[in-house]
Copies of this chain bind each other. A is one copy, B any other.
């Protein structure tokens, strides 16, 4: 391989912290994970493909590394779990610079260290042209306490964390040719997985079901409906829309500065959490500094109903987030 595979693995191994919970690590046939007594293992996998999930001309390598891990951590958050270890498989083109790979790992490692996630294994291969990365994140959750998609009941209230549509709005700007600084568009370039909130909801037994918003509200809400065999009604005026982070100089505040309802309903990759609670459950207005907003309720029906500002009800079709379309 033109890329110095062995030395790359050796370097990653040296630079990576081994947090408690991992025994044998990179360098044996398997990684050995200690799942605490009374806990279950959570496992999630995600592909990240160049020109599908990121573009080299738009996304600095640190952002690619961060977002790549954030997707997996967000899945762990959505079950109320604690991440333990990550395994990553990389297919890299031969002509990729060493500095790109180094900066990618810098972004990856910074997020991994913040949540004490050990990079416990992986594989590197050469790809013909494009960067392709597959990640697996392992977490743990107390036995029987994972928050599934299937636990919502008719009458339950629906909540979301944070504000929606911000990541998709930045992507629209990038597609339109705008320059977006990672520092001012952090919800797109460096999304924060809501691990603290997921663990809080689980520890306090607040939610009946949960999912992370990676494919967009309409699509992820449909997943909750499918798995819980129920319908939902949401209110357009209640949906917390992200403030558009302007690329230009002029900055206004207030309503005019919010992203469109369409982006808040269908835009993906916000990595906020959507959860349901019994109507008797008291839910804090904020958790870990992040606003929690009630947007609707679970119904006996089928599918998603959207109630607009004039109290008119229409069917909302899940649109499925396509990253660069």
Contacts and interface: CB of A to CB of B under 8 A. Distances in A.
Contacts of A24: 146, 148, 150
A121 B30 contact: no
A79 B121 contact: no
A104 interface: no
Contact of A30 (B27, B75, B85, B122): B75
Interface stretch (A32-40, A108-116, A240-248): A32-40
A251 to B, nearest CB: 36
A87 interface: yes
A136 B85 CA distance: 13
Given A47-B89, A81-B30, A227-B27, A41 B138 contact: yes
Given A27-B227, A81-B30, A128-B129, A45 B149 contact: no
Interface in A45-61: 45-47, 49, 52
In the complex this chain forms, how many copies of it are found? 2
Contacts of A196: none
Interface string A126-142: 11111010101011010
B89 A29 contact: no
A42 interface: yes
A123 interface: yes
Contacts of A42: 30-33
A43 B47 contact: no
A41 B35 contact: yes
A41 B33 contact: yes
**Interface SS of A by simple majority:** strand
A54 to B, nearest CB: 13
Given A29-B78, A75-B29, A91-B49, A37 B37 contact: yes
A175 interface: no
Contacts of A138: 41, 43
A44 interface: yes
Interface of A: 23-24, 27-35, 37, 40-47, 49, 52, 75-76, 78-79, 81, 85, 87, 89, 91, 120-123, 125-130, 132, 134, 136, 138-139, 141, 143, 146, 148-150, 210-212, 227
Given A32-B42, A43-B85, A132-B132, 14 more contacts: A23-B40, A24-B150, A28-B148, A29-B149, A29-B210, A29-B211, A30-B43, A30-B76, A35-B40, A46-B123, A49-B127, A123-B134, A127-B132, A128-B129
